[in-house]
Amino acid sequence: MTDLPHSAPAERNKQPILDVLRKVLPARGRALEIASGTGQHVVWFATGMPQWTWQPSDAQATQAQADSLATIGARVVQSGLGNVMPALLLDVMAPQWFDQGIEFDLIFCANMLHIAPWATCAALMQGSVHHLAPGGVLITYGPYLEDDVVTSEGNVAFDQSLRERNPAWGIRRREDVQQQAERAGLRLLQRHAMPANNLLLVWSRATV
């Protein structure tokens, strides 16, 4: 097999995430992954949940991200999976992601919010509301700060390193993310503590 770009964190967390996905999602559905990166997650999830159809995507703000679309495609080809669609170019900041009526039972986004400008959080929430099918959920995964939870030393150091690399980056407060979600019409349905001081958050449309 041809060597492809590889994310060690994605390799470590893919099974714990899949374990939660299997618990919170129905047996079949249609999923959109935002910021698919190396494609390790989508291939692993599609293997473990074969009755789901998976749509990977990534932005093209840099050459590295442009290359990620080719990487995802190559990884899917190597896997031989038939339930993964060709990777799409998708910028969450775009005013419209897809045509009206295109909906997903799951929108999944891992490890994006802390390495992107804060405005992407509101854009993620607003875009997800437009494209979630009835009963569908948005799932976000990554490190978060929380008001009533002591931040681990590792996350404190990670947050500092992110801000040194780019002042627009940084670990987000879960409460701030929740506020953006509520403004867009989403509510926090479930909070799952994950290995390495990460959280998996399940969001659904708010009911009146």
The whole-angstrom distance between residue 62's C-alpha and the CA centroid of its chain comes to: 19
What is the predicted pLDDT for the residue at 68? 85
Q: State the 10-residue block means of pLDDT for the chain, 208 residues long.
A: 82 97 98 96 98 93 68 94 96 93 97 97 97 97 96 96 97 98 97 97 87
Q: In the chain, where are the structural domains located?
A: 1-20+32-116+126-144+174-194
pLDDT at 1: 45
Structure tokens at 6: 């590889």
| Predicted local distance difference test score (pLDDT) of residue 64 | 54
Q: Which CATH architecture has domain 1-20+32-116+126-144+174-194?
A: 3-Layer(aba) Sandwich (3.40)
In 3D, which of 133, 132, 134, 152 has the Cα closest to residue 143? 152
- Dist. CA 29–CA 12, nearest whole Å: 25
**Which residues fall within 8 angstroms of residue 151, CB to CB, at 6 or more apart?**
145, 159
From the list 39, 42, 54, the residue with the least C-alpha distance to 6 is: 39
pLDDT at position 182, please?
A: 97
